Each structure stands twice: as C-alpha cells, then as structure tokens.
Amino acid sequence: MVSRVIPVDPFDLVVFGGTGDLARRKIIPALFRRYCSGQVVEGTQVIAAARTDLDTEGYRNVAAASIREFSAGRACEDGTLERFLQMLAYVKLDATGEEGWSALADLIRQDRTRAFYLSVGPSLFAPIAARIRSHGLVNAGTRIVVEKPFGHDLESAKALNATLAEHFHETQIYRIDHYLGKETVQNLMAVRFGNVLFEPLWNAQFVDHIQITVAETVGVGLRGEYYDRAGAMRDMMQNHLMQLLCLIAMEPPARFEPDAVRDEKLKVIRALDAVEPHHIVRGQYDATSDSPGYREAVGHPRSTTESYIALKTHVSNWRWSGTPFYLRTGKRLVARSSVINVVFKDAPHSIFGADAGGAANILSIRLQPNEGITMHVTIKEPGQGGMRLIDVPLDMSFAEALGPEGQDPPDAYERLIMDVIRGNQTLFMRGDEVEAAWAWTDPIIRGWQARGEVPKPYEALSKGPIDADQLMRRDKREWRGIKP
Ligand code: NAP
C-alpha cells in the first residue's frame, strides 16, 4: 500500500537555531526525507540561522553529517543528498542583536510561503519575533513555528502568547507538540470517527476507565538543568498526555478542520476536574550500578522534582461522568512504551456462570514502538467439554497491515513541517488550549509545593513507584503492563 505524495510549492523556511540539537536531529533530516519522497521540491530554500561562525558550505557539511546519522536507512536515489544540500543556506545571526538580519532579509523571496522555525530556547522567542516584524518579513504567507515548552506556568504561557500575538495572528502561529504528528495519534481520530463500531460505546456507560501511559527508559540525559526546573508534570503531562487525553475524550467535531478539532479539545481540557492530592503519585528514579539516580543526574542532591508522575482525573461532562482517566509518565522505566488502553466494562451478565472466566474488552492503542491497535476480546478456550472463556488479542500492527508504508511511517516532524507549509493547523495547539492546560496544571503543582511533598524513590528500569499501583488498586483496578 503506497500513499500518494502531494508535492508542496517551493517555500522558504528559516530555522533559527539551525546548529542546535533539534535542528540537526529532527528538522533537517525530516526535510531531507520529504525531499526524497518528492514532497519538498526544487526551488525550496532552507536557511539555517545561528551565531556559530559558519558559511553556507560549512553548514551543508553539518547538515550532511546529521542526515547520515539520523536518516540512515532511508532509501534515496544516488545524488539526492547532494541536490538537497544545494537548497540549504546559512546566515550567521544573533537573535538578540542586529547582526545578520539584513543578510537574512535579502535571502527571503517574496512570491512564496515563508516559515520561521524558532528552534531556540523560549527566551529568544520575543527578540526573534520582534526582529522578524521590524525587518519587514511578515506578510500574509508568513508562518511562525514554536517548540515546547510553551511557558512554565499559566502566567508565563500568557506572556508568551501575548508576545507572539503582538507580531503574528493566531492563524500564523504553529505550536508544535510532536506527539500530535505521530501516525497513531492521528489514527486515534480515524478509529473513533471513521468507524461506527466504537463511537456508540465510547462513553461512561460502556467504558470502565481509560489508562494513558508514556514510559521512557532513558533518564534526563544532558537535559538535567532544564528538566529539574520542569519535571514530568510540566515536561510531559501538561502537553503530550493532555493532548492524548483530549483526542480520546473529545466530542466528534463537525468537520476535520483546525478550529473545529481544537474547539473540541479545548472543551475537554476545560472539563477536567481538579486532581485530589491523594490521586497524585510522584517519583524519582534510583541509581543503578552503572547509571546515576535522578538527583545525581540533575546535579541537585535535594531536588524535589519528579521524574515520574501518575494521577487520576475525570472529565466532567455528560459523556464521561464518573469514568476515571489514569495518566502516568516517567523516565527510567522498564520499557519505552506509549499506549492508551480503553478498558470497557464487564458484560452485564455472564450466561456462562461466574467461574467461566473471561475478561473485560480492552482497546489498546500503541503509539510507540510498534504502532498499532489491539482489541482484547473474549472467546471460548479451545478444548473439549465445558465452556471456559479466555481473553485473546486481535492485533493489528500497522507495520504488518500496511506493508512498507506502515513499517516506515513519516516521522512526526516530517508531517508537522509539511502541515506548516500547507497552512494546516489541525495538529498544532492553539494559544487558548495551552493556557487551559496550564490552568489545570498550576494548582496541582502549587498543591504539592504547599504540602512540601517529596517524590518517592523508585527502582530504575522498573514500572515506577509502588504507590502508583495503589492508586489503581484502591479503585479495584490494575495498570496494564509496560511492554516494549
Ligand atoms: P540547543 O541544542 O541548545 O540549540 C539552541 C540553538 O539556538 C543553537 O543552534 C544555538 O546556536 C542557537 N542560539 C542560541 N542563542 C542564540 C542567539 N542569541 N542567536 C541566534 N541563535 C542562538 O537546543 P535544542 O535542543 O535544539 O532545542 C531548541 C528548542 O526546541 C528549545 O526551545 C527546546 O526546548 C525545544 N525542543 C527541543 C527538543 C529536542 O529534542 N532537542 C525537543 C522538544 C523541544 P549558536 O550557539 O550557534 O548560536
């Protein structure tokens, strides 16, 4: 099954922070892969901008090395890399001063979509936005792309939104949450709203509870300083898990259009209950013989920042009244696994008797790795005599079901950057969504700070703190295992 690639018209993309980690690991390789696929066409111009003393030739060498490292294994015709590199230019530029801005303005052409990707720390958003404006680079075809974190709390998020709004209309602002670019995340909407099977059951009457797990095996790595100021709540829960929850819980929008979808997501965030203190579990990973524990990794021996959080919340609306949503995310867990489990209620009456066995239906949506969907259904255990029931998975791995396309779906950044160029904001967060998410998050964080709570230690490469199991068991429920 081969999907049709629709080329986009040539565009200009300026990558501020073109020498940084994100640009080298994700943005440039994503553009290269879209070039290989035929979606990015000749005539496109990608201008990297940063302070490092490089010229265009030097930057092309940097880009070539990044592509070789991070796009390895992609089939591309001979000579494609060389042709792609010809589309790249470099401008030495200081975001906080005037150096380089005229040179940048001279390179940008009038007759096409232009996008500015702010792949820099958030403190540079305001000076860059102001200079894009003051150098006359904003026109109707201008788009600006910003990366998380979108603020540290509601106040800073409002300030950031206000800064961007001074220079750009909301329809020009693309806030990237790369989780929304993942194939399966979009499939969530296709599964829910493209099939009649699920939607009639997608409510409190039939769903017992929903579990969302985003587990990582890695620790904080080189991001220790940033991470210790953020923690799992701000770094993951407030954005990625919140977005997944929205897609699971939202009402069907009338049309698959940016504001129709985002309006429905916003309603979900606004309907979220405040979280009770005893419905929150925070943890910090321990050291192993060959890797540091959390506090050592962030260089802060008394840190009270969490590397793990689990919580229970409710969406207080007609559809979900009384259905708990359990969310957990953490670092140094037993496997890298992002999965949503929709756990349905037991059959109202067993005609086979209480001892026959069987289990509730569960729809598992795997976001990574091995993207796919599993429906757990009850069948008769094979054998003679009696009627014993067992739970079997009906498994669809996209890699198997969709052939080569499923095995190698475009990276989230490939899809999201192309959406920026096409002007489709459906998979990007709107300013009011971000603010609503902080309005829910802030009191939770303020609460544990006021109570002086310290995260519980948990064993590295385990499933997280034991207390998180208790969070479920108190409700007579269990987390599904974290599996690779
Ligand atoms: P990084 O590796 O520290 O790169 C920062 C970039 O900004 C560098 O290219 C740096 O280049 C440039 N820069 C710094 N000060 C500048 C100035 N005054 N003028 C012009 N350029 C300047 O950071 P990153 O990891 O790529 O992250 C970039 C943004 O994406 C951050 O907001 C981060 O939170 C976000 N993000 C990153 C990831 C990721 O996987 N890395 C994931 C999600 C979100 P010079 O030193 O050459 O100037």
- Same-domain pairing of 279 and 134: no
Pairing of strands 362-368, 337-344: antiparallel
Domain containing residue 229: CATH number: 3.30.360.10
Q: Do residues 93 and 185 both lie within one domain?
A: no
Catalytic one among 167, 178, 240, 376?
Answer: 240
> Would you say the CB of residue 21 lies under 6 angstroms from ligand 1?
yes
In a domain? residue 56: yes
Residue 478, domain member (yes or no)? no
Domain CATH number, residue 90: 3.40.50.720
User: Based on the domain organization, do 197 and 109 belong to the same domain?
Assistant: no
If asked whether residues 141 and 195 sit together in one domain, one would say no
Is it the case that residue 47 has pLDDT exceeding 80?
A: yes
Q: How far is the CA of 147 from the centre of ligand 1 (A)?
A: 10
Query: Is 196 in the same domain as 105?
Result: no
Q: For residue 457, which phi and psi values (nearest 5 degrees)?
A: -70, 145
What pLDDT, in 10s, does the model give residues 136-191?
Answer: 999 888 999 999 889 999 999 999 999 999 999 999 999 999 989 988 888 889 98
Domain end (from 124, 147, 170): 147
Cα 21 to ligand 1 centre (Å): 7
Ligand 1 atom closest to Cα of 19?
A: 9
In short, whether 271's Cβ falls inside 6 Å of ligand 1 is no
Residue 24 to residue 424: CA distance in whole angstroms: 24
Residues 243 and 373 placed together within one structural domain of the fold: yes
pLDDT of residue 346: 92
CA–CA dist 223, 18 (Å, integer): 19
Domain membership of residue 46 (yes or no) is yes
**Residue 2 forms part of a structural domain:** no
The answer to whether residue 158 sits within a structural domain is: no
If asked whether residues 278 and 326 sit together in one domain, one would say yes
CA of 17, closest atom in ligand 1: 9
Residue 174 maps to a domain? no
Whether 116 is in a domain gets the answer yes
Q: Is 209 a catalytic residue?
A: no
The answer on 210 and 84 residing in a single domain is no
The string of pLDDT tens digits covering residues 377-417 is 999 888 877 888 888 998 877 767 776 655 567 889 999 99
**337-344 sheet: strands from edge to edge:** 389-397, 372-380, 362-368, 337-344, 207-215, 324-330, 308-314, 280-285, 456-458
Nearest atom in ligand 1 to 149's CA: 34
Q: Which residues of 214-241 are buried (b: 16+ CB within 10 A; e: fewer)?
A: bbbeebbeeebeebbebbbbbbbbbbbb
Q: Last residue of a domain, which of 126, 147, 168?
A: 147
- Whether residues 121 and 265 fall in one domain: no
Tell which wins on pLDDT, 358 or 38: 38
User: Residue 319 domain-assigned?
Assistant: yes
- Nearest-CA residue for atom 40 of ligand 1: 22
Q: How many domains does the chain have?
A: 2
Please give the distance, rounded to the nearest whole angstrom, from the Cα atom of residue 467 to the centre of ligand 1. Answer: 37
Domain region containing 66: 11-147
Specify whether 48 is located in the same domain as 92: yes
Of 267, 243, 227, 252, whose CA–CA distance to 175 is shortest? 243
Residue 126 CA to ligand 1 centre (angstroms)? 14
Task: Give me the pLDDT at residue 404, please.
Answer: 60
The answer, yes or no, to whether residue 301 has pLDDT greater than 60, is yes
Residues 77 and 208 in one domain: no
In angstroms, rounded to a whole number, what is the distance separating the alpha carbons of residues 355 and 201?
A: 26
48 lines ligand 1 (CB under 6 A): no
Could you tell me if 143 and 215 lie in one domain? Answer: no
Q: Which atom of ligand 1 is nearest to the CA of 96?
A: 18
Question: Among 97, 124, 147, which residue terminates a domain?
Answer: 147
Pairing between β-strand 207-215 and β-strand 456-458 as defined by DSSP bridges: unpaired
